[in-house]
């Protein structure tokens, strides 16, 4: 197991560019050879670069408003840094757990929480690896991947007890509060606005209390799944930047955006097989409906008629269950 190295930052404010982050890394990690595996990538909230067998992520400053927030000593600045560092915090919290799939380990963390390093996992991205597989084994390996996802979900759920959860680790934008949905449905005229689907929306609100919040990966798209390029077996999961506590049906719902319904159903069955209470396909659909109810409410408050109609259309598309 790699032991994290906590380093005192030489730069008092967050790096403004990948180049500045690299300069700080090389000035404090003299053991690195300096060989970059590929050109650094710069996203909205973080810079990413591979050096030797480690991946380094640094807090980015994109846009004038975010730059101003991060330069000020304010609660918003602390919140942005807190959100960025959650990935490293969760990886450190689960590093002593045994998983059926490999996950990155934290190797270095800047004391100012502006950048951290994690181990680089071997393998090839899932979609590229599967495209290279012979057609006759691609299907079975696809099913094996779904089973691996379900097992990993169950293992991740058990890795951090709820008593050890930090409030910042609970997903802010993932619906889990039934009271909020019920308050929306109690607003005057909502039965008439929603129409025949109103009773199902009420059921969807109640259904949110059926399952507990669990630790999830939050972004199990193919680019974050590592596969052995020879055997086609899933070997690891990377990029825990969206890992948060959310409802399991929310995690399964998000998978539908990247995988077929048959694949997600197999993940659901593999995950449910490790639980006392099985998640049904209906539970996922009810979560989707509750989520659309909240989107409807926000759109009504913003007086956005287009978004209101879109939310209503989505609710009706999910009917009948």
- The pLDDT, as a whole number, for residue 74 is 58
Which residue, 259, 79, 233, 251, is CA-closest to 168?
79
Beta-ladder partners of 246: 214
Task: With beta carbons less than 8 A apart as the criterion, state whether 118 and 55 touch.
Answer: yes
pLDDT, residue 62, reads 53
Q: What is the pTM of this model?
A: 0.89
Q: Read off the pLDDT band of 2 (50, 70, 90).
A: very low
Domains belonging to the chain, first-starting first, are: 5-119 (3.30.200.20), 124-317 (3.90.1200.10)
- C-alpha 22/C-alpha 308 separation (Å) is 46
pLDDT tens digits, one per residue of 111-162: 777 889 999 999 999 999 999 999 999 999 999 999 999 999 999 999 998 8
Q: What pLDDT does 34 receive?
A: 60
């Amino acid at each position: 197991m790699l032991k994290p190295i906590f380093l005192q930052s030489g730069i008092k404010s967050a790096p403004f560019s990948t180049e500045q982050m690299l300069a700080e890394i090389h000035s404090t990690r003299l053991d690195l050879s300096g060989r970059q595996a590929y050109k650094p990538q710069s996203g909205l909230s973080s810079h990413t670069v591979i050096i030797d067998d480690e991946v380094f992520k640094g807090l980015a400053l994109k846009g004038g408003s975010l730059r101003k927030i991060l330069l000020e000593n304010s609660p918003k600045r602390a919140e942005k840094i807190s959100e960025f560092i959650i990935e490293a915090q969760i990886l450190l919290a689960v590093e002593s757990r045994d998983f059926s799939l490999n996950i990155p380990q934290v190797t270095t963390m800047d004391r100012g929480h502006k950048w951290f390093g994690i181990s680089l996992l071997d393998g090839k991205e899932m979609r590229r690896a599967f495209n290279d597989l012979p057609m006759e084994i691609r299907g079975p390996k696809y099913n094996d991947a779904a089973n691996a996802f379900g097992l990993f979900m169950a293992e991740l759920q058990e890795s951090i007890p709820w008593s050890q959860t930090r409030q910042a680790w609970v997903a802010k934008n993932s619906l889990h509060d039934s009271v909020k949905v019920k308050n929306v449905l109690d607003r005057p005229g909502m039965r008439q606005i929603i129409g025949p689907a109103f009773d199902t929306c009420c059921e969807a609100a109640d259904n949110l209390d059926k399952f507990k919040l669990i630790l999830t990966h939050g972004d199990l798209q193919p680019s974050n799944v590592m596969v052995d390029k020879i055997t086609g077996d899933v070997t690891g999961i990377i990029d825990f930047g969206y890992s948060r506590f959310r409802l399991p049906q929310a995690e399964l719902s998000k998978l539908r955006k990247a995988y077929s319904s048959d694949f997600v159903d197999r993940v659901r069955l593999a995950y449910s097989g490790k639980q006392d209470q099985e998640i049904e396909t209906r539970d996922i659909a009810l979560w989707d409906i509750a989520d659309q109810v909240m989107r409807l409410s926000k759109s009504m408050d913003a007086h956005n008629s287009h978004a209101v109609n879109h939310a209503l259309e989505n609710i009706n598309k999910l009917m009948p269950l």
